[in-house]
Amino acid sequence: MKDKVPQGLVMLTSFLAFRPPQYSADSLKTVAVSWLALFIDKNGMDAIKVWSRVFPMHAGKVQAAWKKMEPTWQILRDFRNRAGFHADKPIRFFGARHQLRKEWPRVQAALDEFKNLFDFFLKKETTELGSELGPALDSLLDELEKKQGPKFQRDQFKAYLMIADPTPLLT
């Protein structure tokens, strides 16, 4: 195989074996930051609005956290749109990556704020929503089933585990 590699070049497999772990960590960071932007985006999941409505008694906490995250929102959104989930023209792609790196301490603080809020609501989900969550999920699934027709698979949707299911996976 080595005789088929042009002189002066290294086989890709040998390069990957010596690639510093930081490159892999940066790749995972790209995905994590982009997913966060999708959760916050008003055209995405809009978690800030969802949490405020689902947990009205904690809406003040949500808004206080959002005020801390909001200053970095445009950086996160641009990064996701231009370098994370999509690739823009090179100047915009590298510009978004550069802006994220330049503002990383502020972005990291926003990420931490979101994570803390997310952890808080994961705990509150079981104690404050009680029996309301199951019927609300079923109502959503009814709507999805009407729109998507007979191909919609309710059990498969629940298996995504995005919302806690009180029934154990193994019996």
Looking at residue 171, what is its pLDDT? 47
How far apart are alpha carbons 45 and 122 in whole angstroms? 16
Of the candidates 111, 126, 23, the residue with the CA atom closest to the CA atom of residue 75: 111
Do 38 and 89 sit in the same domain of this protein? yes
Residue 165 pLDDT grade (very low, low, confident, very high; cuts 50, 70, 90): low
Do 81 and 91 sit in the same domain of this protein? yes
In a domain? residue 8: no
- Per residue in 62-77, pLDDT tens? 999 999 999 999 999 9
- Of 17-26, 36-45, 60-69, 122-131, give the lowest mean pLDDT range: 17-26
Do 119 and 142 sit in the same domain of this protein? no
Do 122 and 134 sit in the same domain of this protein? no
Q: Where are the alpha helices (DSSP H) in the chain?
A: 12-17, 21-40, 47-54, 59-69, 73-79, 90-102, 104-128, 133-148, 154-159
Q: Domain range spanning residue 46?
A: 21-128
Looking at residue 5, what is its pLDDT? 58
How far apart are alpha carbons 61 and 38 in whole angstroms? 21
In a domain? residue 86: yes
Do 108 and 138 sit in the same domain of this protein? no
Do 74 and 149 sit in the same domain of this protein? no
Residue 167 pLDDT grade (very low, low, confident, very high; cuts 50, 70, 90): low
- Per residue in 55-108, pLDDT tens? 889 999 999 999 999 999 999 999 999 988 877 899 999 999 999 999 999 999
Q: What is the mean pLDDT of residues 141-163?
A: 73
Do 30 and 108 sit in the same domain of this protein? yes
In a domain? residue 83: yes
Looking at residue 15, what is its pLDDT? 53
Given a cut of 60, is residue 124 above it in pLDDT?
yes
Q: Which one is predicted more confidently, 170 or 61?
A: 61
Do 97 and 114 sit in the same domain of this protein? yes
Do 90 and 136 sit in the same domain of this protein? no
In a domain? residue 65: yes
Q: How many domains does the chain have?
A: 2
